[in-house]
C-alpha cells in the first residue's frame, strides 16, 4: 500500500496550537506512508486538487487527511479520492482540530497527540478494504407524521412535487397548535384564515392520503423501503358515511366531556367535531364520556344520524403502507405549569395558560371571542401576563428558551386592548426576545401604542383576594417590589417535546435530546435531516419554533424528500456488519441486541447461523461488540482495525 | 430411602425417553468424582457410588448440554447447576423440552482445594485411600493415618451463600425441597480486593496471573462459555490476544471472559474450581455480577423468561438515568 498523508493547518485553527510540520515529518516515517505534506486548507479547491494530483503522480493507494471532524468533511474527501480513481473507502480521517487544537493549549502535547491520531488513522487505513455500495429500489411515497402547520406544508410541497403522501395525525383533525390560535404575530392576521385553506388543500389534494385520529404502530425497513403500520383509532363513526352535519353533536345528551380543542376552557359533547374548520370534518365519539359506550343506555346519536354513520362496535384497526421517506412533524406540548406552586399550581380558575387565553380570544372559542373569566364569566379589566413559565428555568428542568412566548404575549396584550379598550395589561418578563422580521417593532407597539406595561422581573406569588388575584413580583429595573391586583393571570407557558416523542423516535430509530426533541443531522448544515437515512424533521419536534420557521422547515423537509426520491434506486452504505459463518455458533446474541432488526437467523446445514440483512443494517456496531467470538464484523470498523488503532496508540 | 437411591430410581425411569442421563460417578481417587453418562440401566449402578456421595457431586453437569442440543438428555443438578440450565434456556442456547432436569435437596458440595489444604504437610489428595461421611464430619484415611474434617470447613464457598439448594426448575425431584434459605450475598470475598489501591490490585492480579499456564480449563469448565472452538483466545483475526507469554495478555483473556459473562454468570464457580494454578478468577465475574444486580436488578439463572440485561438493546434503561437533567 502507498499511503499519502495530508495535514491541514485549517488557517490558524490547527496550526496555532499544533506544529503541523512536525506532524508531517513524523508521518513520513509511519508504515507504508510514501508521501506526507501540509496544506493550508485541505478542503478548499486547491487543497483537494493537491490530493488528487498526489494520488495520480505518486500512485497513492490510500489517503489520510488530518484535519477536522469527519462528520462534516469525510464525504468531501471521499469524493476527492474517488475523483482520482481510488475507492472512496480507502480513506481515513484524523480529527486534529476538535480533538486536539481546539481543546488544548500546550503545543508540544498537542503535536504529540496529533501524531498519535495520524498514526492510528494510518494503521486503520492499512486494513481498509475496497467497499462497493449496492443499489436498492425505492418507493416514491412519503409518510408525514403530524398534521400541524409544518406537516401540512411538507405534505403539500411533496404533493406539489409529484410525490404521493400519507399523512398521519393523532387528533381527530389536522391543524395542530396553530388551529387553536386566534391571531398570529406580528401581523395580527387571523390564524384560521391563514391555515384553514391550507388544511382544505390537504383534504382535496389527490396525492395526499389523510389518516386522522391515527397513530404510528410500528415502522420497519430502511430508506426507500419503510413498512409502516398505522393504527386507526376507533372513532365509533364511519367516516365514509359521516357528512359532518353536526346534528349528533347538538343532540348528544352527554355534554360534560373535556374539550381538548378548547384546552378545557369549555365543555363539549361526547360525540363531537372539534371545530368548525376541522379537516376531516367528521364526528368522533369520546368513549369515556359516551353514555352508551361507558355502559349506560343512550344511542341518541345513532338514531339522529341521517346517514347511519354511528357504529358503536367499531374497533381500532391497523393498516400498512409502504413509503420511501418519513417526515416527522409531531410538534410540541405545553409543559405542565402546575409544578409552579407560586402561581397557584392550578388551584385558581382565573390563572390560565396562554393557549387557553387564545381560545377565549377566538371567535370560534367557547366564549364566542369575548374575554370572560373562567370563574365568574366577568370581563377582566386588569390582566397580568407572566412570561417564561417553564422556560429558561433550570429549577424545573427547562433551561431553554421556548422562543415564541415573548411574541405571543405581546400579541395577546394587543388583542386584550382591542377586545376590552378600558383594560390594562401588565407583562412580567425576563428579557424581551424578539429577533425576527418585524418582531421587535411589534413588541414595541404593544408597549407604546397599546400601553401594555412591561415589568422586568419575576413573580414571586399569586394568591386570591376577594374576587381578584394578587400578583406579587419585583421590578428589577426600578429595584422595587410590585403588587398588582389582577382579574386574570395569563401564564406564558413554554413548550416541551411531545409526550410521545421518545417513543416515536425509537420507532423511527432517530436520536432525541435530553428534553425529547428530535436530533437533527447537523445543527447548521443538516437542520431537517436526521442521522437515520430517509427520516426528516419539520417544525417544533426538532426544537421549539414559531410558525414562519415551522413552515420553512416543512418546505425544507419536502425539498429533501423530493431530492432523495428523485431517483428510482438508492445507493446503500456498504459500511455494514457481516457474519463469518465459520465462527458463528448461532447463539443469537446479535439478533437480540440489533435495534434495527437487521439480523436474522438462518439454517445452514442444520446449524443455526446469523445473517445480516445488508439493506437494513445501519452499521451501528452493537452486534460486533456483543458477538463473543468476533464472528460479526463491521466493514470498515473491524475488530482488527480498532485493535490496530489501539495498538498504535499504546505503542507510541 | 436415601436421596441417592431415590435419584437412581428417577434416573432409571427417565432413561427410556432420553439419549442419556448425566450424573456423577467415581473418579480417579476416593476424593475426586467424575461425570458419568448413563445410557443403559446398568450404568446407573455407578451413580453417586463414591465415598463422598452427594457431597462429592462437584461438577456442574449443565456444561455438557449445549453440545448435546438436538438430543433429549437427562441431567442431575444441584441447585446452582440448575441456574446454569435456566440461563442457557433463557438465552435459547438449549431447548427446555430437550432437557429432563432431575433435582434433589443439595446440602452443599465439597471444595477439594480446602480438603487438600487440610491434609498434613506434603500429603496429596491422591494418597487418600478411604473416605466416609459420618454425621457432620468427613473421615479420611491416608494409609494408617486417620483424619477428621468438619463438613462446614470443607464446603465450597458458594454453598455458604446459596439461595437455591433445590433446583430452580426441575422435571423430577428426589425427596422434598426445603425452604429456600434467607441468605443475602454480601460479596464479602470482594471486600479484601477492593480495599486495595488500584496499584496494589493490579499487582495482585499480575501476581496471580503470572501462574496462569493458559490451559483454558477455566473457559472449558464454564457452562455458559458458548464460543467453544471460536474463542478469541485462539483467534488471529480478530487478534484480540497475542500469543506472547505476558501476564497482561493472560489477564486480558480473563477480562474478556468475565465481560462475556457479565449479566450471564450464575456464579457456579466452575472456572475457579477447574484452575490448576488456583487463580481466583471467579472474583472478576463476581465483581460484574454485583454490578449487574445493582444496576439492572438482575440475577442470572433464576427465570427462563427473563432477558439478560446486556443481551438486549434499550434506548432507555429503567435503572440508568442517562437523561435526567436534574
Residue among A350, A382, A323, A274 at smallest CA distance from A535: A323
**A65 contacts A6 by C-beta, under 8 angstroms:** yes
pLDDT in tens, A288-322: 999 999 888 898 999 999 999 999 999 999 999 99
- Residue A275 C-alpha from the chain's centroid: 27
Is there a contact between A592 and B235 if contact means CB atoms under 8 Å apart? no
> Which set of grid coordinates corresponds to residue A415?
388583542
**Helix then strand then coil, % of chain A, to nearest 5:** 30, 25, 45
Residue among A372, A376, A369, A492 at smallest CA distance from A428: A492
Please tell me the pTM assigned to this model.
0.70
Q: What is the pLDDT of residue A472?
A: 96
**A167 contacts A210 by C-beta, under 8 angstroms:** yes
**B190 contacts B258 by C-beta, under 8 angstroms:** no
pLDDT in tens, A124-157: 999 999 999 989 899 999 999 999 999 999 999 9
Is there a contact between B232 and A629 if contact means CB atoms under 8 Å apart? yes
Chain A residues with CB under 8 Å of B92 CB are: 588
d(CA B253, CA B82): 27
Q: What is the pLDDT of residue B186?
A: 86
A585 close contact with B: CB closer than 8 A: yes
DSSP-based three-state secondary structure for A19: coil
B226 close contact with A: CB closer than 8 A: yes
**Range of weakest confidence among A340-349, A354-363, B16-25:** A340-349
Exposure string over A107-134, b if 16+ CB within 10 A, otherwise e: eeebbbbbbbbbbbbbbbbbebeeeeee
Long-range contacts from A183-189, C-beta under 8 angstroms, 24+ separation? A183/A361, A183/A411, A183/A415, A184/A411, A184/A547, A185/A407, A185/A408, A185/A410, A185/A411, A185/A439, A185/A442, A185/A546, A186/A407, A186/A411, A186/A436, A186/A437, A186/A438, A186/A439, A186/A441, A186/A442, A187/A438, A188/A411, A188/A414, A188/A415
A583 close contact with B: CB closer than 8 A: yes
Give the A window 166-205 contacts with B, CB below 8 Å: none
Q: What is the pLDDT of residue B325?
A: 47
Q: What average pLDDT does chain A have?
A: 94
Q: Give the largest CA-CA distance in chain B.
A: 73
CATH topology of domain A576-634: Alpha-Beta Plaits (3.30.70)
Chain A residues with CB under 8 Å of B255 CB are: none
Residue among B33, B28, B111, B37 at smallest CA distance from B76: B37
CATH architecture of A3-126: 3-Layer(aba) Sandwich (3.40)
d(CA A389, CA A337): 7
Is there a contact between B230 and A587 if contact means CB atoms under 8 Å apart? no
Give the A window 381-400 contacts with B, CB below 8 Å: 397, 399
Best to test chain A binding among B90, B224, B230 (most A CBs inside 10 Å):
B230
- Cis peptide upstream of residue B238 (ω within 30 degrees of 0): yes
DSSP-based three-state secondary structure for A553: helix
Give the A window 591-620 contacts with B, CB below 8 Å: 592-595
Best to test chain A binding among B313, B314, B318, B326 (most A CBs inside 10 Å):
B313
Q: What is the pLDDT of residue A413?
A: 97
pLDDT in tens, A403-460: 999 999 999 999 999 999 999 999 999 999 999 999 999 999 999 999 999 999 999 9
Q: Is A630 a residue whose pLDDT tops 90?
A: no
Mean pLDDT in consecutive groups of 10 residues from the start of chain B, 326 residues? 89 95 92 94 93 92 93 96 96 93 94 90 85 90 89 92 92 86 87 94 95 94 86 83 87 93 94 95 95 92 92 79 56
A502 close contact with B: CB closer than 8 A: yes
CB A159: neighbour CB atoms within 10 A? 21
A89: left (phi over 0), alpha (psi -120 to 50) or beta: alpha
DSSP-based three-state secondary structure for B63: helix
Q: Is A68 a residue whose pLDDT tops 80?
A: yes
Q: What is the pLDDT of residue B326?
A: 40
pLDDT in tens, A574-588: 999 999 998 898 888
Chain A residues with CB under 8 Å of B227 CB are: 585, 628-629
Residue in A397, A593, A628 nearest the CB of B326: A397
B240 close contact with A: CB closer than 8 A: yes
Residue among A542, A567, A602 at smallest CA distance from A328: A542
Q: What is the pLDDT of residue A545?
A: 96
Residue in B93, B312, B323 nearest the CB of A587: B93
Shortest Cα distance, chain B CAs vs residue A327, angstroms: 21
* Interaxial angle between packed helices A547-564 and A149-160, expressed in degrees from 0 to 180 and rounded to the nearest 10: 30
B323 close contact with A: CB closer than 8 A: yes
Is there a contact between A639 and B307 if contact means CB atoms under 8 Å apart? no
User: Bridge-partner residues for A481, per DSSP?
Assistant: A474
B239 close contact with A: CB closer than 8 A: yes
Q: What is the pLDDT of residue A652?
A: 64
Q: What is the pLDDT of residue A164?
A: 97
CATH code that applies to domain A141-232+316-331+500-564: 3.50.50.60
d(CA A165, CA A327): 10
End-to-end CA distance of chain B: 63
Long-range contacts from A510-518, C-beta under 8 angstroms, 24+ separation? A510/A328, A510/A535, A514/B323, A514/B325, A515/A398, A515/A400, A515/B325, A517/A541, A517/A542, A517/A543, A517/A544, A518/A328, A518/A542
Is there a contact between A639 and B226 if contact means CB atoms under 8 Å apart? no
CATH code that applies to domain B1-109+164-184: 3.40.50
Residues 6+ apart with CB under 8 A from A118: A5, A7, A23, A26, A27, A30, A64, A66, A94, A96
User: Bridge-partner residues for A465, per DSSP?
Assistant: A468
Chain A residues with CB under 8 Å of B316 CB are: 502
Is there a contact between A638 and B313 if contact means CB atoms under 8 Å apart? no
CATH code that applies to domain A234-314: 3.30.70.20
Long-range contacts from B321-325, C-beta under 8 angstroms, 24+ separation? B323/A514, B325/A397, B325/A399, B325/A514, B325/A515
A514 close contact with B: CB closer than 8 A: yes
> Which set of grid coordinates corresponds to residue B247?
501476564
B144 close contact with A: CB closer than 8 A: no
d(CA A301, CA A308): 9
Residue among A512, A262, A548 at smallest CA distance from A403: A548
Residue in B92, B230, B323 nearest the CB of A514: B323
pLDDT in tens, A512-549: 998 999 999 989 989 999 988 899 999 999 999 999 99
Q: Find the closest chain B residue to A639 by CA distance.
A: B238
Is there a contact between B230 and A583 if contact means CB atoms under 8 Å apart? yes
Best to test chain A binding among B238, B263, B264 (most A CBs inside 10 Å):
B238
A127 close contact with B: CB closer than 8 A: no
**A213 contacts A284 by C-beta, under 8 angstroms:** yes
Is there a contact between B238 and A502 if contact means CB atoms under 8 Å apart? no
B311 close contact with A: CB closer than 8 A: yes
DSSP-based three-state secondary structure for B316: coil
Shortest Cα distance, chain A CAs vs residue B148, angstroms: 46
Chain B residues with CB under 8 Å of A502 CB are: 315-316
Per DSSP, the residues of B109-154 read: -B-HHHHHHHS-TT--GGG--EEEEETTEEEEEETTEEEEEEHHHH
d(CA A313, CA A566): 44
CATH code that applies to domain A333-496: 3.50.50.60
Residue in A399, A502, A595 nearest the CB of B313: A595
Is there a contact between B226 and A506 if contact means CB atoms under 8 Å apart? no
Chain A residues with CB under 8 Å of B230 CB are: 582-583, 585, 629-631
B236 close contact with A: CB closer than 8 A: no
- Edge-to-edge strands of the sheet including A453-456? A351-353, A488-493, A382-389, A424-429, A453-456
Give the B window 87-126 contacts with A, CB below 8 Å: 91-93
Helices (H), A185-299: 191-204, 247-251
Q: Where in chain B is the domain with CATH 3.40.50?
A: 1-109+164-184
Handedness of CA A418, A423, A424, A429 (dihedral sign): negative
Shortest Cα distance, chain B CAs vs residue A517, angstroms: 12
Q: How far from A102 is each of A15, A24, A438, A582, CA to CA, in Å?
A: 11, 19, 38, 46
**Neighbour-count burial of B140, counting CB atoms closer than 10 A to its CB (0-12 exposed, 13-18 middle, 19+ buried):** buried
Residue in A399, A587, A639 nearest the CB of B240: A639
Tell me, what's the ipTM? 0.77
Amino acid at each position: 500500500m502507498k499511503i499519502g498523508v495530508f495535514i491541514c493547518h485549517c488557517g490558524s485553527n490547527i496550526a496555532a496550537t499544533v506544529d503541523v510540520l512536525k506532524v508531517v515529518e513524523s508521518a513520513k516515517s509511519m508504515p507504508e506512508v510514501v508521501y506526507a505534506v501540509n496544506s493550508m486548507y485541505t478542503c478548499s479547491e486547491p487543497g483537494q486538487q493537491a490530493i488528487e494530483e498526489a494520488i495520480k503522480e505518486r500512485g497513492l493507494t490510500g489517503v489520510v487527511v488530518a484535519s477536522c471532524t469527519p462528520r462534516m468533511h469525510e464525504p468531501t474527501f471521499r469524493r476527492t479520492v474517488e475523483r482520482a480513481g481510488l475507492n472512496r473507502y480507502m480513506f481515513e480521517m484524523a480529527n486534529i482540530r476538535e480533538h486536539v487544537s481546539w481543546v488544548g493549549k500546550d503545543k508540544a502535547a498537542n503535536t504529540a497527540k496529533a501524531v498519535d491520531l495520524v498514526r492510528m488513522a494510518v494503521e486503520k487505513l492499512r486494513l481498509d478494504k475496497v467497499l462497493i455500495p449496492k443499489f436498492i429500489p425505492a418507493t416514491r411515497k412519503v409518510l408525514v407524521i403530524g398534521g400541524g402547520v409544518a406537516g401540512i406544508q411538507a405534505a403539500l410541497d411533496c404533493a406539489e412535487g409529484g410525490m404521493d403522501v400519507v399523512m398521519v395525525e393523532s387528533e381527530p383533525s389536522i391543524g395542530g397548535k396553530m388551529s387553536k390560535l386566534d391571531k398570529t404575530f406580528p401581523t395580527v392576521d387571523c390564524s384560521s384564515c391563514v391555515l384553514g385553506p391550507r388544511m382544505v388543500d390537504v383534504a382535496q389534494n389527490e396525492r395526499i392520503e389523510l389518516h386522522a385520529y391515527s397513530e404510528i404502530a410500528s415502522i420497519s425497513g430502511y430508506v426507500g423501503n419503510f413498512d409502516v403500520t398505522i393504527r386507526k383509532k376507533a372513532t365509533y363513526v364511519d367516516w365514509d358515511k359521516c357528512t359532518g352535519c353536526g346534528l349528533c353533536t347538538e343532540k348528544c345528551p352527554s355534554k360534560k366531556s373535556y374539550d381538548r380543542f378548547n384546552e378545557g376552557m369549555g365543555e363539549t359533547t361526547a360525540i363531537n367535531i372539534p371545530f368548525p374548520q376541522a379537516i376531516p370534518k367528521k364526528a368522533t365519539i369520546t368513549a369515556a364520556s359516551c353514555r352508551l359506550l361507558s355502559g349506560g343506555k343512550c344511542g341518541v346519536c345513532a338514531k339522529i344520524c341521517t346517514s347511519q354513520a354511528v357504529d358503536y362496535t367499531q374497533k381500532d384497526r391497523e393498516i400498512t403502507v409502504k413509503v420511501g421517506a418519513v417526515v416527522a412533524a409531531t410538534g410540541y406540548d405545553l409543559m405542565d405549569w402546575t409544578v409552579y406552586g407560586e402561581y397557584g399550581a392550578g388551584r385558581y380558575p382565573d390563572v390560565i395558560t396562554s393557549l387557553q387565553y387564545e381560545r377565549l380570544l377566538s371567535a370560534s372559542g367557547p366564549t364566542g371571542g369575548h374575554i370572560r373569566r373562567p370563574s365568574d364569566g366577568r370581563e377582566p379589566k386588569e390582566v397580568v401576563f407572566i412570561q417564561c413559565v417553564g422556560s429558561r428555568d433550570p429549577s424545573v428542568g427547562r433551561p431553554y428558551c421556548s422562543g415564541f412566548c415573548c411574541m405571543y404575549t405581546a400579541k395577546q396584550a394587543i388583542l386584550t386592548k382591542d377586545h376590552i379598550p378600558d383594560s390594562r395589561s401588565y407583562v412580567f418578563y425576563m428579557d424581551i426576545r424578539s429577533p425576527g422580521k418585524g418582531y421587535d417593532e411589534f413588541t414595541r407597539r404593544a408597549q407604546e401604542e397599546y400601553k401594555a406595561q412591561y415589568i422586568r422581573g419575576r413573580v414571586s406569588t399569586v394568591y386570591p383576594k376577594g374576587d381578584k388575584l394578587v400578583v406579587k413580583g419585583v421590578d428589577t429595573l426600578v429595584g422595587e417590589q410590585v403588587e398588582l391586583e389582577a382579574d386574570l393571570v395569563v401564564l406564558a407557558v413554554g413548550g416541551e417535546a411531545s409526550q410521545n416523542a421518545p417513543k416515536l423516535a425509537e420507532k423511527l430509530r432517530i436520536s432525541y435530546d435530553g428534553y425529547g426533541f428530535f436530533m437533527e443531522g447537523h445543527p447548521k448544515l443538516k437542520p431537517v435531516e436526521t442521522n437515520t437515512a430517509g427520516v426528516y424533521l419539520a417544525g417544533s419536534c426538532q426544537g421549539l419554533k414559531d410558525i414562519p420557521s415551522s413552515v420553512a422547515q416543512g418546505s425544507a423537509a419536502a425539498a429533501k424528500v423530493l431530492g432523495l426520491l428523485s431517483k428510482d434506486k438508492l445507493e446503500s452504505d456498504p459500511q455494514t456488519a457481516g457474519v463469518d459463518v465459520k465462527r458463528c455458533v448461532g447463539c443469537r446474541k446479535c439478533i437480540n441486541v440489533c435495534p434495527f432488526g437487521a439480523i436474522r437467523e438462518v439454517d445452514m446445514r442444520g446449524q443455526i447461523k446469523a445473517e445480516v440483512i445488508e439493506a437494513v443494517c445501519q452499521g451501528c456496531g452493537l452486534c460486533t461488540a456483543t458477538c463473543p467470538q468476533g464472528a460479526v464484523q463491521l466493514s470498515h470498523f473491524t475488530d482488527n482495525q480498532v485493535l490496530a488503532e489501539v495498538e498504535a496508540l499504546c505503542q507510541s | 430411602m436415601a436421596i441417592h437411591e431415590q435419584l437412581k430410581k428417577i434416573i432409571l425411569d427417565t432413561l427410556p425417553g432420553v439419549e442419556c442421563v448425566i450424573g456423577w460417578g467415581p473418579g480417579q481417587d476416593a476424593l475426586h468424582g467424575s461425570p458419568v453418562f448413563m445410557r443403559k440401566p446398568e450404568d446407573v449402578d455407578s451413580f453417586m457410588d463414591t465415598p463422598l456421595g452427594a457431597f462429592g457431586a462437584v461438577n456442574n453437569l449443565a456444561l455438557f448440554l449445549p453440545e448435546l442440543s438436538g438430543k433429549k438428555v437427562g441431567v442431575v443438578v444441584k441447585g446452582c447447576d440448575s441456574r446454569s440450565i435456566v440461563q442457557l434456556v433463557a438465552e435459547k442456547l438449549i431447548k427446555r423440552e430437550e432437557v429432563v432436569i432431575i433435582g434433589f435437596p443439595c446440602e452443599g458440595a465439597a471444595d477439594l482445594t480446602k480438603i487438600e489444604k487440610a491434609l498434613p504437610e506434603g500429603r496429596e489428595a491422591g494418597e487418600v485411600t478411604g473416605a466416609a461421611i459420618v454425621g457432620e464430619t468427613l473421615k479420611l484415611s491416608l494409609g494408617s493415618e486417620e483424619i477428621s474434617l468438619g463438613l462446614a470447613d470443607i464446603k465450597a464457598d458458594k454453598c455458604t451463600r446459596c439461595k437455591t439448594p433445590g433446583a430452580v426448575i426441575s422435571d423430577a425431584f428426589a425427596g422434598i425441597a426445603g425452604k429456600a434459605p434467607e441468605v443475602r450475598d454480601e460479596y464479602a470475598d470482594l471486600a479484601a480486593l477492593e480495599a486495595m489501591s488500584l496499584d496494589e490490585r493490579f499487582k495482585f492480579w499480575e501476581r496471580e496471573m503470572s501462574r496462569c499456564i493458559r490451559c483454558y480449563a477455566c473457559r472449558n469448565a464454564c457452562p455458559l462459555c458458548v464460543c467453544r472452538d471460536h474463542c478469541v483466545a485462539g483467534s488471529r483475526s480478530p487478534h484480540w490476544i497475542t500469543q506472547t507469554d505476558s501476564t497482561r495478555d493472560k489477564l486480558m483473556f480473563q477480562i474478556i471472559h468475565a465481560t462475556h459473562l457479565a449479566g450471564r454468570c450464575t456464579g457456579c464457580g466452575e472456572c475457579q474450581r477447574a484452575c490448576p494454578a488456583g487463580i481466583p478468577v471467579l472474583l472478576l465475574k463476581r465483581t460484574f455480577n454485583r454490578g449487574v444486580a445493582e444496576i439492572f436488578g438482575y440475577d442470572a439463572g433464576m427465570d427462563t423468561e427473563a432477558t439478560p440485561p446486556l443481551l438486549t438493546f434499550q434506548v432507555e434503561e429503567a435503572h440508568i438515568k442517562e437523561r435526567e437533567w436534574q
